[in-house]
Structure 1
Amino acid sequence: MNRVLSALAPHSSKRISEYAQRHPGTVDLTVGLPAFGPPRSFDERLAMLSSAPHVNARPEDQYAHSRGAIELRAAIAHVYKSEQGVDLDPDTQILVTNGAAGALWIAVLTLTEPGDEVLLADPGYMIYPPMIELLGRRVVRIPTSPADGFRLHLSDLRSRLTQRSRVVLVNSPGNPTGRVSSEDELADLCAFAVEHGLYVVHDEVLDRFAYGIEHRSVVALDHQGVGIAVNGLSKRFGMSGWRIGWLASSSAVIAEAAKAHTFFMLAVSHAVQLAAAAALSDPKADGEVSVYAAEIRRRGEVFLADLARIPGLGKTTVPDGGFYAFVDVGEFARLRGIRVAESTSAAVAEYLLHECGVAVVPGSVFGRAGEGFVRMSFAGSAEQLDRAVKRLAG
């Protein structure tokens, strides 16, 4: 058995989420899933494909191109042109993967060798460290602080560089902090990467949920071939179950990533890719996403304002993007007399689950710098959020 895998214990957020599923009365704020589904154009194209007569073997019944159906790659390239102003060659600069998680896996595998180091912000998305370690790479966490909005500073990166440093993994809009890196920050990070022989992998899966600060993709700011964008449709179209993701980068990087993808997964569902292409090419669907994003932002503002009126829950960093509130719960634990054995985050999460019927994610699962916080998703319905606030206040 794989010793690295055996040593990985399921994180507490998974247990809390499963508890919420087993107890329907629980208000579940653990999962960041928008309360909307795929656009009609996706469903219509999928229905059309599945109802076509079986006279001969249909193309969509066969393996798709290992780099992805060209229709989808062309649609992705159009998205980057219209949203980021960058020209990407769909033939050579885009690779379709099994969700954004699959894209991350392929990116790290492609850009590093066993023993190499991947640098990432702490707190950061919980699946990054185990994914990196399972590939035999080393995780180097860079602590960030709520005092400056959890910004990743180049000076902190520089102080932790070694001869085995290969990749900086940045998540913007960020999960769990909601931080959106500015254009200048990303451009400076690309220049830093060029200077030190690194690559920048940018997880931008929450790109359509940026508030106030404009989302910029690393591939639009990188002129030296060091930037790799990871994205997908799970958040954009609320369709995490369909597993459509992609990598966008230089032709040289994608050529190598395509090899890894071919040997690991062969290809992604052909029919789903064609339906995804229809959705990405649909102007109406794009407009609906903008409406949904604005509504989620409004719900978040109301939710944060409501939390601020609850004693002990007012210290929350206002997110620049995404749909998570990262809440400092140290004072809340003290006011409610919550007994803390090792982790304030874990103790408060257990209290909220069993005493209030509200499921949240302990901030400690995102790294040491997340200790003392919990993550609450405001991607659900307004009614769900209202129930959560009433229970938290009571």
Structure 2
Amino acid sequence: MNELLARLPAHQSSRIAEMVARDPGIVDLTMGLPAYGPPDIVRAELALTLAGQGAAAARHDRYAPVRGAPALLAAIAGLYGRQGVHVDPDADVVVTHGAAGAMFLAVLTGSDAGDEILLPDPCYMLYEPVVAVLGRVPVRVPTYPADGFALDPERVEAAVTSRTRMLIINSPANPTGVVCPADLLSRFADLARRRGLRIVYDEVLENFSYAHRHAHLHALAPDVGITVNSLSKRFGMAGWRIGWLIAAPGFAAEAAKAHTFGNLAVNHVVQLACASALADPDLDTRVGRQVRQVRHQGEAFVAGLAEIPGIDVRFPDGGFYAFADVRDLAGRLPGGAAGADRAAGDLVAEALLERARVAVVAGSAFGTTSRDHVRLSFPGRPERLDEALGRIAALAAGTSNQIPRRA
């Protein structure tokens, strides 16, 4: 058995989601799954292609090109072009199995076993396992609630050693909602050039940037930047597993080679179906409308959370997660005094699941400085968010035993 793999815990959100699937009475706020789904054009193109009527329909049963279907590569480049960012579809892009696949390729291609990879603490829960299972060394750079969990360039530089090869930045950040504005991103790029690093820039939530205009690293620093993105959040199609990596041509070529060894290619027919949607500029308007809808219901949800005694939370600068400090709520629970062995976030997440039947992710899943927090996803159906608020309020009031045990 792989010893590195055996030491890693299971993906917490996936584990809870499996539990929720067995009990639909649980309100699941763990996964970032928008209530809207893929655009109609994606489903229509998929049906046409499978029926042998779409563009290149007769070829969809063959392996896709390693880098991706030309139509999708062109559509990805066009998406960035509409935002003023030049991307060469033939040299800069590799289509991957979601953003997770792009992240795996980025770390594999840009570092060797034993190299150090800098990660914010807290950060998305898959970053450290990806780094560790590849035999690299994850090094956490702490961020703190008092600073809004913003990543500090001075702390990053202090963590750099002779073995450091990469820094992972996520903007808007999951779970904290922090957005990295262009001036700060430029400082990180300068640091990377000075210290001989690359930056892996996860921008899957780019459309959900509220406090600042989203900054594209490929526009600011294509020499040191490796962009990771996908259609999962943009089009609400996480299960379709279409992502991509954008980097300088030499890096992209090596990433494509690694992709060949691990996966050969990504599902061809899905690539063809998605290409038409991504290439349609009219859908940018649709995406903007959906972002406004998510923001509106998120603002209402976070306002409701903030009224519950024991919860300290504010609306995020970006993304669609509420990251709530629950120390006071933990103290209100029977036997809920947090300590060195039991973090407030763990206690509250456990109580919410067992007594209020609301599934959230404990902050300890993301790092050490967020152990007093829980993450709650808010892009789902509004009625489920309202139900969750009522159940969380009942837990805080000590009346959660009145919640039915089955839906």
Q: Quick one: percent identity of the two aligned structures?
A: 49
Q: Is the 8 A contact 1:146 1:317 kept in 2?
A: no
Q: Whole-Å Cα distance in 2 between the matches of residues 150 and 367 of structure 1?
A: 11
Give the aligned partner of residue 133 of structure 1: 132
Q: Whole-Å Cα distance in 1 between the matches of residues 208 and 302 of structure 2?
A: 16
Q: Whole-Å Cα distance in 2 between the matches of residues 254 and 338 of structure 1?
A: 53
Give the aligned partner of residue 50 of structure 1: 50
Give the aligned partner of residue 187 of structure 2: 188
Q: Whole-Å Cα distance in 1 between the matches of residues 53 and 157 of structure 2?
A: 60
User: What is the letter of the counterpart of residue 66 of structure 1?
Assistant: V
Shift, 1:344, TM fit? 1.7
Give the aligned partner of residue 303 of structure 2: 305
Within 5 Å, give how 1:76-225 maps onto structure 2.
Answer: 76-83=76-83, 85-222=84-221, 225=223
Q: Whole-Å Cα distance in 1 between the matches of residues 17 and 71 of structure 2?
A: 37
Any unmatched runs of 5+ in structure 2? 395-407
Root-mean-square deviation (CA, aligned residues, Å) is 1.6
TM-score by length of 2: 0.93
Q: Is the 8 A contact 1:149 1:317 kept in 2?
A: no
1:247-267, Cα deviation, whole Å (9 max, x unpaired): 111111111111111111111
Shift, 1:158, TM fit? 1.2
Give the aligned partner of residue 241 of structure 2: 243
Give the aligned partner of residue 397 of structure 2: none
How many equivalent residue pairs?
A: 390
260, 266, 279: which one pairs with 1:262? 260
Q: Whole-Å Cα distance in 1 between the matches of residues 140 and 376 of structure 2?
A: 23
Shift, 1:118, TM fit? 0.6
Q: 1:11 to 1:40 in 2, by over 3 A?
A: closer
Q: Is the 8 A contact 1:338 1:351 kept in 2?
A: no
1:324 correspondence with 2:321: yes
Q: Whole-Å Cα distance in 2 between the matches of residues 63 and 12 of structure 1?
A: 33
1:277 correspondence with 2:272: no
Shift, 1:318, TM fit? 2.7
User: What is the letter of the counterpart of residue 380 of structure 1?
Assistant: G
Give the aligned partner of residue 291 of structure 2: 293
Q: 1:184 to 1:361 in 2, by over 3 A?
A: same
Q: Whole-Å Cα distance in 2 between the matches of residues 232 and 53 of structure 1?
A: 27
Q: Is the 8 A contact 2:362 2:374 kept in 1?
A: yes
User: What is the letter of the counterpart of residue 334 of structure 1?
Assistant: G
User: What is the letter of the counterpart of residue 212 of structure 2?
Assistant: I
1:188-226, Cα deviation, whole Å (9 max, x unpaired): 111110000000110101111111311111101115x10
Q: Is the 8 A contact 2:179 2:211 kept in 1?
A: no
Shift, 1:18, TM fit? 2.4
Q: Is the 8 A contact 1:13 1:362 kept in 2?
A: no
What SS does structure 2 have at the residue aligned with 1:61? coil
Q: Whole-Å Cα distance in 2 between the matches of residues 247 and 338 of structure 1?
A: 47
User: What is the letter of the counterpart of residue 187 of structure 1?
Assistant: S
